Structure 1
């Protein structure tokens, strides 16, 4: 006895932003595929970032340990949040000042207020240094 069967899959992805009309839809039924892609142009910000060099992250870790008077054996990594290490807003300002001095840079106040982790600080430092290169 022959059996008819219908197998298929459907995948739909939409932007997580409700005001956006971006969508990607994929349907497959019995080995046949149909792919549709719709894009409604909107002014969407695209941000591409690269992780800072390990040596930059390491320097930032040392400065954070020094500014917060943490023991040398403290576990401070790129993912470490300043608040979790016991830093308050004044400590964060002092960390940024230490970074400016160590790397010979100037961090704008708006950027400094957005730094919450060692990795964010290292990424910002490298971005500032890159902008300074002619």
Structure 2
């Protein structure tokens, strides 16, 4: 295990909340160091970024909407990693999914953002980002 000392450390404000024992669901992290405090090592700049995954309730609602829009059977396994295309969605289905999400969550998804959504998790993350902007 490596040990490092930084002479200065700064963090950007992050609006993320999670309950105890949910930290293991975090998928990304980055931390930036200026390079100072590492005199004996020539390390590239390290980055630490915290990206919080959408709340489980949001993911579950997205799963239900996707299942309904694609007329999937109740026993069909759909989770955050499920890709719309793998579930049988074409571009029209994806538009209908996005419309269902907009109606359910009271949001408006820009066309560019809608076209970039390929998984349930991406949809849930975008929803929470848009809901945060509304507040």
The TM-score with structure 2 as length reference comes to: 0.66
Q: Shift in Å at residue 34 of structure 1?
A: 2.9
Which structure has the larger Rg over C-alpha atoms?
Answer: 1
Corresponding pairs, count: 96
Pair 1:34-2:36 in alignment? no
List gaps (5 residues or longer) in structure 2: 1-34
CA RMSD of aligned residues (A): 2.0
CA deviation map 1:72-94 (0-9, x unaligned)? 11100000000000000000000
| C-alpha distance in 1 between matches for 2:74 and 2:104 | 19
Q: Which has the higher contact order (CA 8 A, sep 6+)?
A: 2
| C-alpha distance in 2 between matches for 1:75 and 1:50 | 23
* Bigger fraction of residues in strand: 1
Partner of 1:107: 109
List gaps (5 residues or longer) in structure 1: 1-23, 25-32, 40-45
Q: Which runs of 4+ in 1 moved over 6 A?
A: none
| C-alpha distance in 2 between matches for 1:115 and 1:132 | 20
Q: Shift in Å at residue 49 of structure 1?
A: 2.7
The TM-score with structure 1 as length reference comes to: 0.67
| C-alpha distance in 2 between matches for 1:61 and 1:88 | 17
Q: Shift in Å at residue 68 of structure 1?
A: 0.1
Partner of 1:18: none
